[in-house]
């Protein structure tokens, strides 16, 4: 039998066109062409998104990574409908027994009781307040949030408790919650980072099939800034030989829209992302595949990815140094090199949580 090589329309509207078994599976499958596929290909409808309830008992995840500016985060969703071909979070779907390919874009888990779980965690006597990063692994404002409103419920708890939060998103849906974000910004309780990968609509259409366009994200920056909210533009991922030439133009457009600071992260290819992104390149940018991977190897000591802290986000070597110099020069010229003020942790007030049927706690006189 022949290996299947014509799956470009198999998963219409999705970035991934394969659904490889996760790396923890006891066995792996390989698709083959038995001659029937060609006739049935045009009859397939776009895949629907499936929702799975996440029964986790907590919502705050803690980390000790030295190259991350936060030690705790909340991810309302696992998997992401945006379907970005490069997403570093894809391998995490393997922990659910699902594929980092199409499953990551179509089978999403969510925490319907996230707000109550968060209240319980913040109310613990030993809880120490520090900024929470919201939507780090996958976007907290992806399309299903419009109806599920899990992220909105989390923000409401944080606003009520005056708990500082930093946000990363590429979704215009974040503007729905501008009332909460603006209220928190007045007390220096929130920073928002908007990620922009490319200004090229043709590349974005296949690489980030269900994410907001770059122009829409610039509008998000403009409206957030007008509401008094500090906005960072995150050029991520910066892809050598594909989008790296846009670094300065993205920074310029974001500064004009009202961003006050900037960061960048070079393309990361952990685990299954490496073959999945190569597959996307071969189908959508076939002349650039080897060039992209060659430059990545130059930035990671001969490997296409190096997961070490301090190396995984920027790389090293002459090419990485040139990109860093370009970034510093443009950020300084555009006034995007300023450090954001530290978020205020002194306003935090722990929520009062009672079990069902309990009487309200008696107020203290002191």
pLDDT digits (tens, 9 = 90+) for 234-245: 999 999 999 999
pLDDT of residue 317: 94
Least confident among 23-27, 194-198, 345-349: 23-27
Of residues 216 and 14, the one with the higher pLDDT is: 216
Parallel, antiparallel, or unpaired for β 60-62 and 72-74? antiparallel
Instruction: Assess if residue 30 is contained within a domain.
Output: no
Least confident among 24-38, 45-59, 60-74, 277-291: 24-38
- Average pLDDT across the chain, whole number: 87
Instruction: Assess if residue 6 is contained within a domain.
Output: no
Distance, in Å, from the CA atom of 104 to the CA atom of 197, rounded to the nearest integer, reads 20
Q: Find tokens 């995490």 and name the residue.
A: 92
Instruction: Assess if residue 354 is contained within a domain.
Output: no
Instruction: Assess if residue 210 is contained within a domain.
Output: yes
What DSSP string runs through 110-161? E-TTHHHHHHHHHTSTT----PEEESSSS-TTSTTHHHH-HHHHHHHHHHHH
pLDDT of residue 11: 57
Mean pLDDT throughout 246-255? 98
Q: pLDDT tier at 18 (50, 70, 90 boundaries)? A: low
Query: Does position 40 have pLDDT exceeding 70, yes or no?
Result: no
Q: Find tokens 């070079």 and name the residue.
A: 266
Q: Domain count for the chain, please give it.
A: 1
Distance, in Å, from the CA atom of 339 to the CA atom of 24, rounded to the nearest integer, reads 41
Domain hosting 138: range is 46-333
Instruction: Assess if residue 56 is contained within a domain.
Output: yes
Query: Does position 313 have pLDDT exceeding 50, yes or no?
Result: yes
Mean pLDDT throughout 41-46? 52
Mean pLDDT throughout 333-352? 94
DSSP bridge partners of 193: 168, 232
Mean pLDDT throughout 299-303? 92
pLDDT of residue 39: 45
Instruction: Assess if residue 365 is contained within a domain.
Output: no
Q: pLDDT tier at 321 (50, 70, 90 boundaries)? A: very high
Instruction: Assess if residue 14 is contained within a domain.
Output: no
CATH code, domain carrying 127 = 3.80.30.30
pLDDT of residue 64: 87
Instruction: Assess if residue 293 is contained within a domain.
Output: yes
């Amino acid at each position: 039998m022949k290996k299947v090589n014509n799956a470009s329309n198999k998963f219409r509207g999705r970035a991934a066109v394969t659904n490889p078994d996760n790396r923890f599976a006891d066995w792996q499958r390989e698709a083959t062409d038995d001659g029937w596929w060609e006739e049935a290909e045009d009859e397939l409808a776009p895949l629907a998104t499936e929702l799975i309830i996440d029964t986790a008992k907590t919502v705050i995840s803690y980390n000790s990574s030295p190259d991350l500016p936060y030690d705790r985060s909340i991810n309302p969703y696992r998997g992401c409908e945006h379907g970005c071909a490069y997403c570093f979070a894809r391998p995490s779907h393997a922990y659910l027994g699902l594929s980092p390919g199409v499953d990551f874009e179509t089978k999403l888990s969510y925490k319907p009781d996230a707000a109550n779980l968060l209240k319980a965690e913040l109310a613990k006597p030993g809880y120490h307040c520090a900024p929470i990063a919201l939507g780090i692994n996958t976007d907290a404002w992806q399309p299903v949030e419009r109806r599920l409103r899990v992220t909105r419920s989390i923000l409401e708890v944080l606003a009520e408790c005056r708990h500082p939060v930093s946000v990363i998103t590429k979704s215009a849906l974040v503007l729905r919650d501008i009332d909460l974000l603006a209220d928190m910004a007045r007390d220096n309780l929130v920073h928002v980072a908007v990620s922009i990968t490319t200004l090229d609509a043709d590349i974005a259409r296949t690489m980030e099939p269900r994410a907001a366009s770059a122009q829409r994200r610039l509008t998000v920056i403009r409206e957030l800034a007008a509401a008094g909210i500090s906005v960072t533009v995150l050029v991520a991922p910066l892809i050598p030989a594909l989008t790296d030439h846009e670094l300065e133009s993205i920074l310029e457009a974001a500064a004009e829209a009202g961003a006050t600071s900037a960061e960048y992260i070079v393309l990361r290819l952990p685990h299954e992302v490496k073959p999945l992104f190569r597959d996307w390149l071969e189908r959508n940018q076939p002349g650039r595949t080897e060039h992209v991977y060659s430059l990545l190897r130059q930035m990671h000591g001969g490997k296409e990815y190096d997961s070490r802290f301090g190396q995984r986000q920027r790389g090293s070597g002459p090419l990485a140094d040139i990109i860093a110099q370009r970034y510093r020069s443009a950020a300084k010229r555009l006034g995007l090199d300023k450090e954001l003020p530290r978020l205020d942790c002194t306003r935090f007030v722990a929520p009062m949580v009672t079990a069902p049927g309990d009487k309200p706690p008696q107020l203290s006189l002191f």
